[in-house]
Amino acid sequence: MRRTIVGIAISLVFLFLALRGQDFEAVWSALKRAEYWYVIPALALYFSGVWIRSVRWSLLLQSVRRVHWFDLFPVVVIGYMANNVLPLRAGEFVRAYALSTRAGVRKTAALTTIAVERLFDGLTMLAFMLVASLSVALTSPLRHLAVLAGLLFVPLLVGLVIVSNRRVREPLLARTLPRLPAQIRERAERMVHSIVLGLSILQRRRELFVVAATSLAAWLFEALTYAVVAQAFDLQLGLLIILLTTAVANLATLIPSSPGYVGPFEAGVLLVLFGVVGISRELALSYALVLHAVLYLPVTLWGLLFWWRESLSWRELRRTSVEEAAS
């Protein structure tokens, strides 16, 4: 509960920063002038990206269990829905629970593949920022964000690659696991086995390249979503600005906040469109609000529909979470 309150407080701070000094009549005027039919192709592009993410997750899960992307698509959408309605990225745990229920995959293994997935997402966002910086002058906050992203994701990649290497991992486990009490050791061994399965793709270069390629493709489709929504406001944004906006808005959502990343997302968009491009704060905010709604509402509603169709239970999710924490 305390973490939820902190997240909401952080969201309020970022909302204050995004709304401070705004002419709300100008914001409303921009919202009224927007051509909302652009939302239709934007959603088609966005859900194409979600489909590619389902294909990517299928690749990451191959060492654990072969699950077709068709069966993973509802689970991915459920995860997005849960991230939008629950605090602190709880959607990742909900996605692991949904996959465990649907395909019998151990939650630890599922969460490990999701961690690898998020690592590739972060590296792709960092790459977008670096590519954009070749022609776009980054402001000081954006340079700091790029440095922080690099300090987070690059060492994490190196660390996971090292841990996934058997020659490094097995001597370490051989020294550590026997020292644990028997009951704890059995659970630790099962958990380590699941984690190793989830990380095994990091030792297979060809499949790793495919995962990187699908990550790039998924995010390019999301960037195209940003570009199409920009057309609704007659914003003529170049490719590099679109990539930069996509990267900054999504990296900003790593900050703990309220469900749906309200506040950090809008602030991230304004950092680029107002801070770098020089678009008026009101027009930039109008665009950010509509874009956020496009990325939030449809996938949340579809995720709730999939949740109902799969007969999943919030009570069962809480019960299994408590049992796993206690065991």
55-92 pLDDT, tens digit per residue, is 999 999 999 999 999 999 999 999 999 999 988 788 99
137-169 pLDDT, tens digit per residue, is 999 999 999 999 999 999 999 999 998 988 888
Domain count, the chain: 1
Domain boundaries, position 218: 2-326
Which pLDDT does position 3 carry in this prediction? Answer: 63
* Residue that is written with structure tokens 């402001």 in the block: 139
Take residue 270 and report the two structure tokens written for it. Answer: 């304004």
Looking at the chain, list the stretches that DSSP marks H as alpha helix, in order from N- to C-terminal side: 2-19, 24-33, 39-60, 69-85, 91-103, 107-133, 140-164, 166-176, 182-199, 205-232, 239-252, 264-272, 281-309, 314-326
Q: What band does 326 get if pLDDT is binned at 50, 70 and 90?
A: very low
* Residue that is written with structure tokens 């649907």 in the block: 102
Q: What is the largest CA-CA distance in the chain?
A: 68
pTM value > 0.85: yes
| Higher-confidence position of 39 and 4 | 39
The C-alpha atoms of residue 54 and residue 71 are separated, in whole angstroms, by: 9
Which pLDDT does position 197 carry in this prediction? Answer: 87
The amino acid occupying position 68 is H
211-251 pLDDT, tens digit per residue, is 999 999 999 999 999 999 999 999 999 999 999 999 999 99
279-294 pLDDT, tens digit per residue, is 999 999 999 999 999 9
